[in-house]
Amino acid sequence: MKRLFQLFLALLFLGGVFSSVALAQDGDCCDEYDPAVQQEIDALNKQKAALLGSLSLINSDIEKLRKQSADLDKQLLAAEEEYNKWKDCKKFVMKENGVLEGIVFKTSSAEIMPESLPILNKALEYLKTHPTERYEIGGHCDTRGTAKYNQKLSENRAKSVKQWLVNNGIDAGRLTTVGYSFNKPLVPNTSPENMQKNRRIEYTKIPN
């Protein structure tokens, strides 16, 4: 019995010790709290606020840029409209005579190359809107090859241009063709560049 009582007292003593230790630990946690942690939290909150402010400014700048872009689109559209008006005013005109600049043939052939279409279409549009006008189409060559060869080539090239226009709606009676071989050069045939200028299709208005 005495032994049980002694054991009971020992348990009570140990319980008190454990309680004291727990309280001491709790007290130690509070004593060891570092105010720098709160300062760091405050600093991070300030950084967050600054970032949110910057984000707001960026969003504002984005809206401004969008508005500027929309304004530029309007200006570009207006400029394109003005350009188109100017381009319409400068439509291709077949005068008394001139060169159909841009007509290209396959080498040593009367076959018209695809890159000739822009100028051919301009001539076609002009002839369609001026139905009473008549023209001679003249073919010209450089000095490479014989006179006989170039005579035939220049004639065939002029005929090819006429045929293209006729195929696209122009009355054949409004057009005549002539081959001039290399007899009427624009410039001396002394360089590849000059020869290229001399290989050409000219038009001459025929009086009604």
Q: What is the pLDDT of residues 26-35, one digit of tens each?
A: 444 555 667 7
Percent share of the chain, pLDDT over 90 = 53
pLDDT for 15 equals: 46
Q: What is the CATH number of the domain that holds 159?
A: 3.30.1330.60
Look at the chain and report how many structural domains it folds into. Answer: 2
pLDDT > 50? residue 3: no
Token pair for 75 = 């200006």
Q: Is residue 29 part of a domain?
A: no
Query: Are 81 and 103 members of one domain?
Result: no
Mean pLDDT calculated for residue range 125-136? 95
By mean pLDDT, which of 63-67, 84-88, 108-112, 118-122 is the weakest? Answer: 84-88
Confidence of residue 14 (pLDDT cuts 50, 70, 90): very low
**Is residue 105 domain-shared with residue 178, that is, in the same domain?**
yes
**C-beta of residue 169 within 8 angstroms of C-beta of residue 138:** no
Statement to judge: residues 196 and 151 lie in one domain: yes
> Which of 28, 59, 90 is the last residue before a domain boundary?
90
- 3-class secondary structure, 194: helix
Query: Is residue 21 situated within a structural domain?
Result: no
Specify the residue for token string 């394109």: 80
DSSP annotation of 144: S
Q: Does 26 fall in a domain?
A: no
pLDDT, averaged across the chain: 84
Res 133 pLDDT > 70: yes
Query: Does 102 share its domain with 170?
Result: yes
The pLDDT, as a whole number, for residue 87 is 61
Q: Which of the two residues, 15 and 194, has the higher pLDDT score?
A: 194
pLDDT at 73 over 80: yes
Structural domain of 175: 97-206
Per-residue pLDDT tens digits for 84-110: 666 655 567 788 899 999 999 999 999
Tell me, yes or no, whether 104 and 180 share the same domain.
yes
Report if pTM > 0.75: no
Distance, in Å, from the CA atom of 110 to the CA atom of 156, rounded to the nearest integer, reads 6
Whether the per-residue pLDDT at 2 is higher than 90: the answer is: no
Residue with tokens 């007290």: 27
Residue 84 lies in a domain: yes
| Domain end marker among 54, 69, 90 | 90
Q: Do 84 and 114 lie in a common domain?
A: no
Q: How far is CA 90 from CA 98, 121, 144, in A?
A: 16, 15, 36
Q: Which of 33-47, 62-76, 85-99 has the lowest mean pLDDT?
A: 85-99
Question: What is the structure's pLDDT at 85?
Answer: 63
156 and 179 in a single domain? The answer is: yes
